[in-house]
Amino acid sequence: MIFNRFALFLALVVAIFSSQLPEFAQQYRQRLGGAIDELNHIVADFDADAARQGMDHSDGIASLEANADPFIRGRGVQMREIASRRDRLERQVHDLDNAQPIGEFLALGENFDGGVAANVLSDFEPAVPVTLGGLSSALLGFVAGLAAIHLCAWPVRRHYRRRVARTRRNPAFPA
């Protein structure tokens, strides 16, 4: 009896935590938007500087990377990484926008940006899951938590049942 209550409690705890995944994804998406806006600003400034010199984006980066000065070469590498990160984050936003509520978690894992996620976690504010995604996530978390606790307890229950059965067959056998 106490085991069932404990299992229910743990399943509810898992459900509460898993219900926050959609909120985390939503706050992550907002942070992605801000990061993309800032990266777009940096790339646009670079492209404008390159255009003033009669170059496009790739030519500007190639010019920096071909420079003899290590500092300027490093800036070229940095600019290539900035543009690459922006493209990766834009793909992730597109994937998140087009994902179904549960598929959103898979899309979140693809092209995951640890820096953005760390910032989300540092400012994360839990929310009540009133969306289909939040309720689905809570239900899946509840079922997974309940299944996990029962799976972990299965060997103990099996051993206990065998012991009780042996005791009933042979009352002299010590329990």
Q: How many domains does one find in the chain? A: 2
Residue whose pair of structure tokens reads 């920096």 in the numeric block: 64
Whether the pLDDT of residue 160 is over 60: the answer is yes
Cα–Cα distance for residue pair 147/162, rounded to 1 Å: 22
CA distance 105 to 141: 13
Do 90 and 156 lie in one domain? The reply is no
* Residues 113-127, mean pLDDT to the nearest whole number: 84
Tell me the mean pLDDT in the region 158-162: 78
Both 115 and 140 in a single domain?
Answer: no
Closest CA to 138 of 12, 29, 10: 12
Q: What is the mean pLDDT of the chain?
A: 84
Same-domain pairing of 159 and 84? no
The answer to whether residues 85 and 66 belong to one domain is yes
Does one domain contain both 37 and 88?
yes
Residue 141 — pLDDT band, cuts 50, 70, 90?
confident
Co-location of 94 and 116 in the same domain: yes
Q: What is the pLDDT of residue 76?
A: 94
Domain that holds residue 71: 28-125
pTM for this one? 0.65
Pairwise CA distance, residues 14 & 110, whole Å = 24
Q: Which amino acid is at 167?
A: T
